[in-house]
Structure 1
Amino acid sequence: MLLRERYPAGKFKDGKDYPAVDELKPLSLLNASISTLFQYTGKDELMPPPERSRPRKEVQAAALLNAIQSKSYWEEEWVGFWRDHFSVYGYEQNVGAFLPHWENEVIRKNAFGNFRQFLEASATHPCMLYYLNNKSSRAGSANENYARELFELHTLGRDAYLNNLYAQWREVPGALQGKPKGYIDQDVYEAARAFTGWTVEDGTGIGGGQSLPKTGQFIYLESWHDNYQKRILATEFEPYSGPMKDGKKVLDLCASHPATAHHLMRKLIKRMINDEPSEKMIQSAQAVFIDHRNSPNQLSILSKHVAKLASTIPEQGRQKVRKPMRLAAAFINAVNLPFDISEGKIMGQVESAGPALYGWVSPEGPPDGLQWNLSAAYLRQRMNLIQGLSENWWGTGEWNPFSDLPPGPTYSQLLSRWEKPLFGRPRPELSEALTCSQGLTGFERVSDIKVARKMVGYLACSPSFQTEAIEPDFSAGERA
């Protein structure tokens, strides 16, 4: 698969020139190592600045192709949930450079694995270390960004933040028994100390005339770690416990806390089933999550359980808004469009029709839910996305709206032909409403292929094409 790279000539910071580029390049970075991707951070200006966004662009293009080619929407949405849960901002240069490795080795590799291992994989990856500033955290200057988001977003959740009720750890219900109900700021501050010394090999000076290598790999620096005793979630941490032991112990405590299971399951069921998950479903999934917390395939077991929950609810009771990539994929597949992504122009429209993949600035990730995703800010762009695909505005390919139709079909015949591919069943009321809105009776003949494509695009702009029930898949995550 090829993707165009185009930018004008320019200059590096040192005044040296780099040439203009306009060529189709293969998606060659999708399986690149961290050390290969490190050069895209811009360190030492090893490549022209416009080239440095290439890793992010390739990941975004590959995600759209996956959405089109995937046999399981459930699997892709499950992966998408974890991508948004461990949200990083890929338009920040140091983060975006490593996105291909993050997408493959953190998100996709762990989405059906074990949550505790998932936590550690995210915590030790340069994307997260750069994004939440733990890269520079050291004894005497601990950065609390990662620790706070670990508690508030990745594990226990905001509902478990009890600092407005309790000022001291002893006051938190259950703390004296070693089972605090939630967390307070003291826990965050102490956890930040536990993660000091978790950093990236990026050439930083470490004293004594020495510098870290320039590989982009994770490294633990004992000399940067705060080795003194700590108390986190009512648990005593012994001083000088050993390399990375403090941070790993925090991850253990957070992953196994009951509030984490409840927080995650509420988010997950809302994403996979419907916008208003029942407490019964949440508790059911929570029990499975906890019972299998030591299983290497904990999240695969959970996926099957959530799929079982979803299968008990009629489709009309679990409608979810299609994300922009899914929306594009649904139309492309419905009309058998020979999709060509090589010019890349469609990606800008995909990004404007909803939060861009890895494009949410703050760490809580993009919001979920019908009202937000179908807000006025996005709805028009979503309709333009469908219409542009239908009419080939971005060079993505042309398709035949007259397939399986007699010569010179009527508008009614044309629209009726595409109702089932688009909506899964005949929707004559939509076709009738569309023909009326265009001042037509439906019996007029249509022979202009451009007009036909435009009309089918209009049909796909119907509100009911914006949502769908995610079909449960009990084998998700098991494919090679």
Structure 2
Amino acid sequence: MLTRRMFHTRLVAALAAGTLPFATGARAAAPATDDLWLNRLTFGASPAARAEIAELGREAWLEQQLTLRPEDDTALADRLARARLRIAYDAGEDDIGRWEARDELRPLSFLSAEPEAIVPLLEWQPGRAMEYSERMRPAQEVIAAALIRAVHAEAQLREMVTQFWHDHFNVNSEKDHTTAAPFALYDRSLRAHALGNFRSLLGEVAAAPAMLYYLNNADSRASPANENFARELLELHTLGAGNYLNDRFSDWREVPGATEGLAAGYLDLDVYEVARAFTGWSVGDGRWLAEGEEAPRTGRLHYVARWHDPYQKRVLGREFPPNRGPLADGEEVLDILARHPGTARFVCEKLARRFLSDDPPAGLVQRMAETFLAQTEAPDQIARVIRVLVLSPEFAAPPSKLRRPFEFLAAIYRATDAEVTASENGFHWQLGRAGWRQHSYGPPTGHPDRIGAWTGASTLNRMVDLAISGFEDWFGAAAADLARPVGDAATVGDFAAQHADTLAPGQGEGIAADLARAFGIDPSAPLDAISPEDRRGLGQSAVAFAALTPEFLLR
């Protein structure tokens, strides 16, 4: 009754006619406040989430979300334990040995593995020959788990903030095996500290093997130091490009605050000095260090004293004495940056941009930054900043953020009570066609977070594909019983309207009417007049139409 070709043609025609919100610049009407919170602070409103926030009240629900720990979610832990991801490759060999062919579904064992377990994936030693996908396996497991967590996690706000930090402290897990092997450890660390203290989080990031490899600091040593991590630490992780003052000042003494020991911004000279401070921060991966000396095989940060530049330094106007103890220079850099007013403003503006609007109100950002600075020692510093954002009057503004592709897909699954079934990571490839590379975005900037970055024709066409195909067997991501009535629907029209209302409350009757016109359906016909297969097609079409309304696309 309802072919995919007909449906795609109809939606593309609507896009060409400029009737969809991303073609016209339309904005969704403000939803009920509960849904506004759920759409901004979770991966999408679901029947269970709506019931929970209605029972608890918004502020109590927020407090619960801010305090839920990953280890408290036993239902999610059970899902992750049951999940299986295929690994398949042919037999082969390299210069250290042979490996047998494999085609099997394996548990996501690296999600909870100890750091030592990744070291064999980093080494090429006789007797440890393996096909390259084995070395990339931990990253693939995290990608698979990402969709499960987004759809099913109870601690939805923590998952949303964890995704934010993955973009803020971006590591391309698929760069090569050195970033892939330790990536599960990195993901675990970001999740654990997502709502905690920013200085603690920053320290975890700087010491993470995935980051040390990604930005080349694992090999950085004196004369000359590698500047990659230092530059991104200043430009992307803390002070932000707006505080790069090299075009305004040629001497460090000219920068406001520098002669008092805390410069307002940074120069290229500060980048060089920060790079020197982090020399010797490497990885315990068994690497050769000197004649008769190898790094330990811990899979953790390993400080190589012989690689460190021990001489005096000056960072943001603060003098560092020479010959300090292990890690001391780098730790002091992190202390300075985590407590800097420029960092507070930069990070808080990015949080407000992610959860509220592309151009958040300056007054709100200032209040968030004041809390950030006042709570620099608090173990829940980030949670306190988010509380200021969510409880502000500005947070009631109408939706204006476009769901990015991963959020869009997860929100469809949450609204329909779908069960994530992915065992091939095929959804990762499908999202890549829309410009979203979950945990594998190439540039260190992370995915862009302004609406204009996601409104190109290619991305929008792929979003249409996601809406249409997300429940198809070949898509292989999630399953939902879309042939089952959501409520007590007696007619075909009621059935379609109720399914559409799960995504776009209040829009169901209009969507049912659109479907009736588009496909020649009699909306007053008894529901049992059509087959279960046709009911499933109708439910799927209603969901897809609803997913492409302003009420669902915008959050």
Provide the TM-score with structure 2 as the length reference.
0.79
Q: Does 1:379 align with 2:465?
A: no
Q: Secondary structure at the match of 2:503?
A: helix
- In 2, distance between residues paired with 1:348 and 1:3? 18
After superposition, give the CA deviation of every residue in 1:11-47 in whole Å (9 maximum; x if it has no partner): 2322743222221111111011111022233543543
Kept after mapping to 1: 8 A contact 2:238/2:337: yes
Given the alignment, which residue of 320, 338, 342 partners 1:259?
342
Paired residue for 1:365? 446
Given the alignment, which residue of 198, 220, 239 partners 1:156?
239
Paired residue for 2:131? 48
After superposition, give the CA deviation of every residue in 1:242-288 in whole Å (9 maximum; x if it has no partner): 22111111111111211111111111100011122010110010000
Paired residue for 1:97? 181
Q: Secondary structure at the match of 1:302?
A: helix
User: CA 1:413 to 1:42, structure 2 compared with 1: closer, same or farther past 3 Å?
Assistant: farther
- In 1, distance between residues paired with 2:444 and 2:509? 44
Cα drift, residue 193 of structure 1: 0.7
User: CA 1:15 to 1:147, structure 2 compared with 1: closer, same or farther past 3 Å?
Assistant: closer
Q: Secondary structure at the match of 1:333?
A: helix
Given the alignment, which residue of 88, 108, 111 partners 1:7?
88
Give the aligned residue type for 2:119. F
Count of residues in correspondence between the two structures: 465
Given the alignment, which residue of 61, 76, 79 partners 2:162?
79
Kept after mapping to 2: 8 A contact 1:157/1:259: yes
| Farther-moved stretch of structure 1 (396-405 vs 356-365) | 396-405
Q: Does 1:243 align with 2:329?
A: no
Give the aligned residue type for 1:425. G
Paired residue for 2:113? 32
Please tell me the root mean square deviation across aligned C-alpha atoms, in Å: 2.3
- In 2, distance between residues paired with 1:256 and 1:42? 38
Q: Does 1:400 align with 2:486?
A: no
Kept after mapping to 1: 8 A contact 2:138/2:182: yes
| Farther-moved stretch of structure 1 (209-218 vs 124-133) | 209-218
| Farther-moved stretch of structure 1 (127-136 vs 431-440) | 431-440
Structure 1 portions without partners, runs of 5+: 470-480
Kept after mapping to 2: 8 A contact 1:289/1:302: yes
Identity rate, percent: 33
- In 2, distance between residues paired with 1:163 and 1:57? 40
Given the alignment, which residue of 18, 22, 27 partners 2:103?
22
User: CA 1:257 to 1:335, structure 2 compared with 1: closer, same or farther past 3 Å?
Assistant: closer
- In 1, distance between residues paired with 2:330 and 2:438? 29
- In 1, distance between residues paired with 2:243 and 2:509? 50
Cα drift, residue 72 of structure 1: 4.9
Cα drift, residue 446 of structure 1: 4.1
Q: Secondary structure at the match of 2:145?
A: helix
Cα drift, residue 370 of structure 1: 1.9
Kept after mapping to 1: 8 A contact 2:503/2:552: no
Paired residue for 2:148? 65
Cα drift, residue 404 of structure 1: 5.0
Q: Secondary structure at the match of 1:215?
A: coil
User: CA 1:226 to 1:378, structure 2 compared with 1: closer, same or farther past 3 Å?
Assistant: same
Paired residue for 1:233? 316
Paired residue for 2:541? 455
User: CA 1:150 to 1:379, structure 2 compared with 1: closer, same or farther past 3 Å?
Assistant: same
Cα drift, residue 171 of structure 1: 1.6
Q: Does 1:323 align with 2:407?
A: no
| Farther-moved stretch of structure 1 (246-255 vs 284-293) | 246-255
| Farther-moved stretch of structure 1 (152-161 vs 298-307) | 298-307
5 Å-filtered alignment, 1:163-174, equals 163-174=246-257
Cα drift, residue 424 of structure 1: 2.8
| Farther-moved stretch of structure 1 (10-19 vs 300-309) | 10-19
Given the alignment, which residue of 191, 200, 204 partners 1:117?
200
5 Å-filtered alignment, 1:120-199, equals 120-199=203-282
Kept after mapping to 2: 8 A contact 1:331/1:460: no
Give the aligned residue type for 1:314. A
Q: Does 1:314 align with 2:400?
A: no
Kept after mapping to 1: 8 A contact 2:216/2:228: yes
Kept after mapping to 2: 8 A contact 1:3/1:344: no
Kept after mapping to 2: 8 A contact 1:390/1:453: no
User: CA 1:4 to 1:182, structure 2 compared with 1: closer, same or farther past 3 Å?
Assistant: closer
Given the alignment, which residue of 403, 411, 414 partners 1:333?
414
- In 2, distance between residues paired with 1:231 and 1:16? 50
Kept after mapping to 2: 8 A contact 1:78/1:272: no
User: CA 1:324 to 1:42, structure 2 compared with 1: closer, same or farther past 3 Å?
Assistant: farther
Q: Secondary structure at the match of 2:401?
A: strand
User: CA 1:43 to 1:112, structure 2 compared with 1: closer, same or farther past 3 Å?
Assistant: farther
Kept after mapping to 2: 8 A contact 1:60/1:357: yes
- In 2, distance between residues paired with 1:374 and 1:424? 24
- In 2, distance between residues paired with 1:193 and 1:283? 33
Q: Does 1:279 align with 2:362?
A: yes
Structure 2 portions without partners, runs of 5+: 1-81
Q: Does 1:432 align with 2:513?
A: yes
- In 2, distance between residues paired with 1:248 and 1:428? 59
Cα drift, residue 160 of structure 1: 0.4
Kept after mapping to 2: 8 A contact 1:42/1:52: no
Cα drift, residue 441 of structure 1: 5.9
Given the alignment, which residue of 420, 424, 427 partners 2:501?
420
Cα drift, residue 51 of structure 1: 1.9
- In 2, distance between residues paired with 1:466 and 1:259? 35
User: CA 1:158 to 1:67, structure 2 compared with 1: closer, same or farther past 3 Å?
Assistant: same
- In 2, distance between residues paired with 1:15 and 1:230? 44
Kept after mapping to 1: 8 A contact 2:417/2:480: no
- In 2, distance between residues paired with 1:66 and 1:38? 26
Kept after mapping to 2: 8 A contact 1:52/1:97: yes
- In 1, distance between residues paired with 2:487 and 2:362? 49
Q: Secondary structure at the match of 1:117?
A: helix
